Structure 1
Amino acid sequence: MRRTTRLALVCCLVVGLAGCAGVGSTPTATDTQAPVTADATTTATPTATPEPVATPGSDYDTATVTISAENGTQVATVEAWVADDFGKRYTGLSETEALEPGQGMLFVHGQEGNHAYVMRNMDFPLDMVFIAENGTITTIHHAPLESDDDDLTQYSGRSKYVLEVPYGYTNETGVEVGDRVDIDR
């Protein structure tokens, strides 16, 4: 039996599958270099890597995300930061040490397609929940921490949205492929 619970979404970095051989999707960068800044009188130099923070910050919009079983029973709800542009999707929560219960992040892509996520520079493992444009969960991955940022595992699925939750959360709450996700922005 399922029970209502707070869904703590967690984020990681996004890599579009277009960079992988044989996959047709909208190209997205897979570059791992630090952002470069410059002004009119200096040459471009990499910016300093910021210290980890407890939350993604105030420059993110939020959304209420509700997951319901196929029979309509509500399984979980979370207040999530929304990563809806390339910069926010690429950075994700890689500069975040942890999230409070009931906090999370929702990745939003411009259109449904094959998308891949990696665990680059993450401090905690995740479950990754891929969601179709119609709100149906299509794939769930359990992603442990990576030991080598040079050889990252790609977790992919067909989606328009991706929720990342603490490792094992989907098992604990009974969130399954085929469940329905509603997003109130």
Structure 2
Amino acid sequence: MARRGVVALVGVVVALAVAVLALQTGLWVDIVGVGEYEQGTVTVTDSNTTTPCTAPPNRTAVAACDGPRTLGTVDVRISDTVEQRRLGLSDTESLGPDEGMLFVHGEEAVQTYVMRDMDFALDIIYIDANRTITTIHHAPPPPEGESYSERYSGRAKYVLEVNRGWTNRTGVSVGDTVELPAGVD
């Protein structure tokens, strides 16, 4: 009888240890899954409406824009659950030039991201509740042999991750306005 009690106690301790390990390492995401990602398109427009537009091919004259000009468009997977946000792009081998992930949080706050188990560099773009870019980080993958990188923070309700260099290529900067996919609150 005493053996059964000891075996049961050892079983409970082992189960608790596995549960703690799964929570700390993020393994629980692999076990439980993240569900299906919704998809959409994010468009970023210039905050400065007097910025010259790009000249048409074979022309040298550039006229000022009458309104905001589109700087870039990204096809995104929408990450709006705790599980999806924790996994992020960790299981993604690469992104196309105009692909990314949009993380949606319940409210605007200081959000902190790491490059967990990433194989490629990212631009991490923080967007406030008014859909204005507040911060941009150019994040390398974690050093060889490490699963985490340094921490990147910014005030945001939404965080957009794209290939590193996308913001430089498109001219996207702090203060620009972001149009989110339909249905994203």
Q: Same fold (TM over 0.5)?
A: yes
In the alignment, which residue of structure 1 is the partner of 2:91?
Answer: 95
Higher strand share: 1
Equivalent pair of 2:121/2:139 in contact (CA under 8 Å)? yes
Query: In the alignment, residue 87 of structure 1 is paired with which amino acid?
Result: E
Aligned to 2:39, what secondary structure does the other structure show? strand
Aligned to 1:66, what secondary structure does the other structure show? strand
Gaps in structure 2 of 5+ consecutive residues: 1-22, 50-67
Equivalent pair of 2:108/2:157 in contact (CA under 8 Å)? yes
Give the distance between the partners of 2:73 and 2:133, measured in 1 at CA. 15
In the alignment, which residue of structure 2 is the partner of 1:60?
Answer: 37
Whether 1:149 aligns to 2:142 is no
In the alignment, which residue of structure 1 is the partner of 2:155?
Answer: 158
Larger radius of gyration: 2
In the alignment, which residue of structure 2 is the partner of 1:167?
Answer: 164
Higher helix share: 2
Alignment of 1:62-77 (within 5 A): 62-70=39-47, 71=49, 72-77=68-73
Residues 34-66 of structure 1: per-residue CA shift (max 9 Å, x gap) = 118xxxxxxxxx84xx9xxxxxx9811012100
Give the distance between the partners of 1:142 and 1:126, measured in 2 at CA. 6
Equivalent pair of 2:95/2:163 in contact (CA under 8 Å)? no
| Pick aligned residue for 2:124 from 128, 140, 143 | 128
Deviates more, 1:88-97 or 1:150-159: 150-159
Gaps in structure 1 of 5+ consecutive residues: 1-29, 37-45, 51-56
- The TM-score with structure 2 as length reference comes to 0.69
Give the distance between the partners of 1:135 and 1:33, measured in 2 at CA. 30
Q: Which portions of structure 1, spanning 4 or more consecutive aligned residues, are displaced by more than 6 angstroms?
A: none
Query: In the alignment, residue 170 of structure 2 is paired with which amino acid?
Result: T
RCO higher in structure (CA 8 A, sep ≥6): 1
Query: Residue 33 of structure 1: CA displacement?
Result: 3.9
Aligned to 1:31, what secondary structure does the other structure show? helix
Give the distance between the partners of 1:176 and 1:152, measured in 2 at CA. 23
Give the distance between the partners of 2:26 and 2:125, measured in 1 at CA. 27
Query: Residue 108 of structure 1: CA displacement?
Result: 0.3
In the alignment, which residue of structure 2 is the partner of 1:32?
Answer: 25
Aligned to 1:106, what secondary structure does the other structure show? strand
Change (3 A) 1:76 1:100: same
Query: Residue 103 of structure 1: CA displacement?
Result: 2.2
Q: Please give the root-mean-square deviation of Cα atoms over the aligned residues, in Å.
A: 2.4
In the alignment, which residue of structure 2 is the partner of 1:24?
Answer: none
Deviates more, 1:91-100 or 1:110-119: 91-100
Aligned to 1:177, what secondary structure does the other structure show? coil
